[in-house]
Amino acid sequence: MSAFAGAVAVVTGGASGIGQALCAALTQRAARVVVADRNAAGADGVARALAEAGGQARGAAVDVTDADAVEQLIDGTVREHGRIDFLFNNAGIGVFGEELDVTLEDWRQVINVNLWGVVHGIRAAYPRMVRQRSGHIVNTASLAGLSPACLELSYTASKYAVVGLSRGLRAEAEAYGVKVSVVCPGFINTPILQVTEMRRPIDRQRLIALAPTPLSPERCAQIVLRGVEKNRSVIPVTGHAWLGWLLERLSPALTDRVWLAYARKIRALPGGSR
């Protein structure tokens, strides 16, 4: 039997991309899913489609930068179902550009969603899981949390923090029967590739073309859930995520050369140089 059958799962950023695919994959495994997103209509639409397909899902509006709202989301879930088995802290945003071009407000927005959003989820769900003596927190980081990506420093900083936070919490949580994993997807074909704010007039499609062929969100979700079932600490999803992680561990100097070459390619694009 699947580890997810009958389980209660909350997925933030569930209205699109990896979050939506996770919600679908979880309902296919007979989990009861709360599709949480700041896009309330999108969350409700995803939940409705999953329910029409035979799954158990409901939508919930939440802004993960609001600690009280996240607390209410988790509290409402526990009151409705009696427990929470899985929390997927998946909501995330990015800003693309050189440090000379981004603003402090860009930094605040990215850190607030990508790092504080995870912290708020943990602060709400972890004490309840400790009381249950069970549960699994799954935080979405990035390849940029394993290998220091340039031209998106706020994103890289937030995702490195999520990786460190997740691994440290995993060591604490084991004594209480709570599991923690961190997901590092790499390039996935999600709306974030199209909606990430850019601080230079670089042609978005030419920029995307420099990246490896992206994996589908559906395939990503399958790999993630398989890693969660195996209780893996770090779950790299794509081949280039594995390669980037290995390269960083074996030779940071070589990793630096790879990112230097990438930065040169970006600057060579129309609008890419200062």
Residue 206 domain-assigned (yes or no): yes
Instruction: Kindly name the residue from 126, 155, 160, 176 that is annotated as catalytic.
Output: 155
- CA–CA separation, 180 vs 173, rounded Å? 7
According to the model, what pLDDT value does residue 158 have?
Answer: 98
pLDDT, tens only, 160-186: 999 999 999 999 999 999 999 999 999
- Given a cut of 80, is residue 272 above it in pLDDT? no
According to the model, what pLDDT value does residue 1 have?
Answer: 64
According to the model, what pLDDT value does residue 237 have?
Answer: 97
According to the model, what pLDDT value does residue 208 have?
Answer: 78
Helix (H, G, I), strand (E, B) or coil at 258: helix
Query: Is the distance from CB of 114 to CB of 140 less than 8 angstroms?
Result: no
- Mean pLDDT, rounded, of the chain: 95
Is 155 a known active-site residue?
A: yes
Residue 3 CB burial class (10 angstroms; 0-12, 13-18, ≥19): middle
Instruction: Give the structural domain span for 61.
Output: 8-268
According to the model, what pLDDT value does residue 155 have?
Answer: 97
Residue 3 domain-assigned (yes or no): no
Q: What is the number of structural domains in the chain?
A: 1
pLDDT, tens only, 116-132: 999 999 999 999 999 99
Residue 242 domain-assigned (yes or no): yes
The enclosing domain of 67 has a CATH number of 3.40.50.720
- CA–CA separation, 113 vs 92, rounded Å? 6
What angle in degrees, to the nearest 10, is found between the helix axes of 17-28 and 217-229?
A: 60
Q: pTM to 2 decimals?
A: 0.95
Residue 2 domain-assigned (yes or no): no
- CA–CA separation, 16 vs 23, rounded Å? 10
Residue 274 domain-assigned (yes or no): no
